[in-house]
Amino acid sequence: MDTVGGPSLTKILAQVKPNGIVASCGNAGGIKINTTVMPFIIRGVKLWGIDSSGASIRRREFLWNEAVKLIDFNKLKSFTKSLSFSELLDTYPKLLEGKFFGRAIVNPNK
């Protein structure tokens, strides 16, 4: 699942396992990807775009229930950082420069 796009999506496509599927729904990192046809032709990788705003509630509920089976939440937690608002001010420039890896979640109670 890619929610950023741009260079992040390019890297994901190069690293996904053969016959894997990359679901992409974001473009905050850019709308262009720099890749070849190799992931698609040689390794059978599929790129699926997600139109979350146009999906019915029934479809969304089905997909969220399926996602629970596919996501390793322990792995996800290992690269997720909870930030306070003041920590966000220090982290934001790193995000813009591409020097922050993982997920940043702002916790207003921290």
52 DSSP assignment: G
Class of the CATH domain delimited by 1-71: alpha beta
Q: Does the global pTM surpass 0.75?
A: no
Give CA separation, 32 vs 10, 20, 21, 72, 96, in Å.
9, 21, 19, 28, 17
Please write the tens of the pLDDT for every residue from 77-103: 888 989 998 898 888 888 888 888 888
Which residue intervals of the chain bear CATH 3.40.50.720?
Answer: 1-71
Percentage of the residues of the chain whose pLDDT score is greater than 90: 21
Radius of gyration of the chain (CA): 16
**Are the CB atoms for 25 and 47 separated by under 8 Å?**
no
